Amino acid sequence: MEATRIDIPDHAPHVLVVDDDRRLRDLLTRFLSENGYRVTAASSAAEARSIAGSFVFDALVLDVMMPGESGFDYARSIRATSQVPILMLTARADTSDRVTGLEIGADDYLPKPFEPRELLLRLGNILKRAIPIAGASAGDAPEIIHFGPFSFRFDRGELRRGDEVVRITEREREILTILGSATGDNVPREALSGNGAAANERTVDVQINRLRRKIEVDPANPLLLQTVRGIGYRLVIDR
C-alpha cells in the first residue's frame, strides 16, 4: 500500500489526495506541501479508505475515474457519515458529471487538465468556508438573519438550527449569503450561478435542492426557500 505524508507543522490543514495517476499524485503532493498543507496520497478508493481509518483529514482531492470503486462512489460513501470538504477532479468535464458530483455532495469540481494554482485557490476557498472564522470578539455585532428555526450569520458563513451548527458546503454558503443579503426579495437564478466549474442554471437547481433538504421539513413543498417562477428564488426571512 502506498501512502505519502509530508512532515510539516501539525497545525497545517491535512489533505487526502486520491488519484490513480502516480505522476499527478506526486505533483499535487509536492505542490500542496510547498504551499503549507500536510498531504497524504492514495492510488485508489480502497487505499484511501484504509488510510482514513488512521487520520482525520481537513479536505479531500478526489479523482472521479479510478479503477474499481469510482470517485463518485467513494464520495457518496463519505457523505453518509461526514461533511469533510471534497474537491473532485475529472478528465470528463461535461455537465452531467458536474451535476452528479454536486448531487453527491462535492463542494467543488475541477476538470483536467488544470493549473495547480487554480486547484490551490479552490481548495483554500472550500477550507475557509468549512472552518468558522476564528478571533471574532464577543463585542462584535455580527449580521444575522432568521428564517423558521434557522439563523445564518454572515461574518462566519454559519448556519444554525437553534444552537446546533448545520454543516453546509461552500456553494450552499454562497447561495445563502446571496439570498440572505436580498432580505426576502426575489433573486434571479443567474445571480446564484457563481463563476466556477458549476456555473450554470442546472447546477444552481441542484444546489438549491440540496440546501432545501437541510432546511425544509418537506423539500418538495418548500416554505423557507421558495421558487419564484420565471425569475429564481427567494428566502423567506423573519421580519
What band does 92 get if pLDDT is binned at 50, 70 and 90?
low
Residue 30, domain CATH? 3.40.50.2300
- pLDDT at residue 95 greater than cutoff 80: no
Residue at 135 is within a domain: no
**114 and 60 inside one domain:** yes
**74 and 154 inside one domain:** no
How far CA 135 is from CA of 95, 140, 155, 238, in Å, comes to 39, 10, 11, 28
Mean pLDDT value across residues 159-178: 89
φ, ψ of residue 22 to 5 degrees: the values are -60, -40
Residue at 158 is within a domain: yes
**16 and 77 inside one domain:** yes
- pLDDT at residue 90 greater than cutoff 50: yes
Residue at 24 is within a domain: yes
Residue at 63 is within a domain: yes
Work out whether strand 4-5 and strand 38-42 pair parallel, antiparallel, or are unpaired.
antiparallel
3-state secondary structure string across 125-157 = HHHHHHCCCCCCCCCCCCCEEEECCEEEECCCC
Residue 182, domain CATH? 1.10.10.10
Tens digit of each residue's pLDDT (9 = 90 or more) over 195-237:
444 445 567 888 899 999 999 999 999 999 999 888 889 999 9
| Domain, as residue range, for 190 | 144-235
Mean pLDDT value across residues 37-60: 89
Mean pLDDT value across residues 139-160: 80
How far CA 154 is from CA of 55, 129, 143, 176, in Å, comes to 31, 11, 6, 9
Host H or E run for residue 4: strand 4-5
The total domain count for the chain is 2
Q: 130, 158, 175: which is the final residue of a domain? A: 130
